[in-house]
Amino acid sequence: MDYHNFLRFEFYSLPVNVGLARVTVAAFAAQLNYTVSELDDIKGAVSEAVSNAIIHGYQGAPDQLVRVTAVVRGDELEIVVEDGGKGIGNLAEALRPGYTSGVERLGLGFSFIRSLMDTLDVQTVPGRGTKVLMTKRAGLPGGHAHAN
Residues that bind another protein (CB under 8 A): 15-16, 18-19, 22, 36-37, 40-41, 43-44, 47-48, 51, 54-55, 103-107, 109, 111-112, 115-116, 146
Is residue 105 annotated as a catalytic residue, yes or no? yes
Q: How far is the CB of 121 from another protein (least distance, A)?
A: 19
Which of 17, 48, 82, 137 does the annotation list as catalytic? 48
Exposed/middle/buried for 8, CB within 10 Å: 0-12, 13-18, 19+?
exposed
> Do the beta carbons of residue 81 and residue 99 sit within 8 Å?
no
- What's the min distance (Å) between Cβ of 122 and another protein? 16
Cα 128 from chain centroid (whole Å): 19
Closest to another protein by CB, 111 vs 123, is: 111
Q: What are phi and psi of 70, to 5 degrees?
A: -125, 130
Q: Are 123 and 94 in contact (CB under 8 A)?
A: no
- 76 catalytic per annotation: no
Residue 5 is among the residues annotated as catalytic for this protein: no
